[in-house]
Structure 1
């Protein structure tokens, strides 16, 4: 039987968005300028959250100890989701991605920059970020906490929540409603397939909408 992660990964964000909107949920779509390095690949799974801060007085050794400690904490099957509170340096790179991928981490979402993008593409580690820079965290940035609530744009992401992202964007799926949202999304996809079939058979779009209640 497919896991909830696998089921969510088989959905697409447009239908998940519409289901959540119909449920009356708000503030669940992450900023549109967060983009994936592999837009053709869907990313879904439970989150491992990281909160950090800039500390320009930090010792280089201290920053690397803290960073490698973060890598050790990330659980298999999760998505690394970071609010670094920084827009200057990269918060994901080759060796970190290699480590996380080998641990079974599904990918990462960084509200900031990444580097070594050619290597990330080569190893197939899906990375969502705002852009790229060769600058790194050494002597500049430290983690504050893991597995805490973080905010990216107007979206609050809590431990246990899920994310799903595809070429259209990223959506936060709250833990308490994840099963219901996935089930409703699967049903909506089945209905959309009927609408699509009707359209391809020449049915008027308004008639198709009235017949199936979806468009």
Structure 2
């Protein structure tokens, strides 16, 4: 499936959204508050999910051990998508990003916050999050499921679905149609390239739309 991930990475989120919407999948975009930590980086690949909740009964050791279990147990080569069910703390930091990068994790998307951002930017690990905060998980949070369906905004995300995130935002592709959607997106991008050249050469916008059916 690496080939599909690489092909998806060469696409862009807006085109994928258009293809999904034409197929009847109109609710596949994550909230626009979830943005790339580094807007020049994109993330693409097969999804594996994480969910958790606030728990202030746990000790420092218990919270850190449980987070280490998450980093150990998630499969390599995936895009991790986390629903922490809190916006009060960071669910990604430098050492965690290093550990995931060693596992060839393709990127990390969280409906929450991140910290150690200078270090993460320096290492080039793709992270999409809502905001940044120094606050960590210690004595505050634990995971409750790995690999189960989660919801971010109004989008339900399952392990095995596919994801593309770029400067425009993050779109989720249901696994049942991933191959077809990527192929259709590649074709759409080819048509858009032809239309772009035509417009740059002076074609009238209305005529261009009628010829290519895009805008």
TM-score class normalised by the smaller sequence: over 0.9
1:49-68 alignment runs, 5 A limit? 49-68=49-68
- 1:3 counterpart SS class: helix
Secondary structure (helix, strand or coil) at the match of 2:145 reads strand
How many matched pairs? 215
Residue of structure 1 equivalent to 2:152: 152
How far 1:26 moved relative to its partner?
2.2
**Superposition deviation, residue 60 in structure 1:** 1.5
Deviations 1:107-136, CA, capped at 9 Å, x for gaps: 100111110000000111111111111111
Alignment of 1:11-30 (within 5 A): 11-30=11-30
After TM superposition, list the pairs within 5 Å mapping 1:105-120 onto structure 2. Answer: 105-120=105-120
1:130 aligns with 2:124: no
Separation of aligned partners in 2, 1:211 and 1:27? 29
Cα distance in 1 between the residues matched to 2:27 and 2:213 = 25
User: Quick check: 1:10 aligned with 2:10?
Assistant: yes
Provide runs of 4+ in structure 1 moved above 4 Å: none
Q: Between 54-63 and 180-189, report the one with greater CA deviation.
A: 54-63
Q: Give the Cα separation in 2 of the matches to 1:27 and 1:18.
A: 11
Structure 2 alignment gaps of length 5 or more = none
- The answer as to whether partners of 1:75 and 1:104 remain within 8 angstroms in 2 is no
Runs of 5+ consecutive residues of structure 1 not aligned to the other structure: none
Structure 1, 135-144 or 73-82: larger mean CA deviation: 73-82
TM-score (norm 2): 0.97
Q: TM-score, normalised by structure 1?
A: 0.97
1:138-170 deviations in Å (ceiling 9; x for gaps): 111010000000000001000100110110000
The 2-side partners of 1:213 and 1:112 are apart by 38
RMSD: 1.1
Matches within 5 A, 1:45-194: 45-194=45-194
Shift in Å, 1:14: 1.0
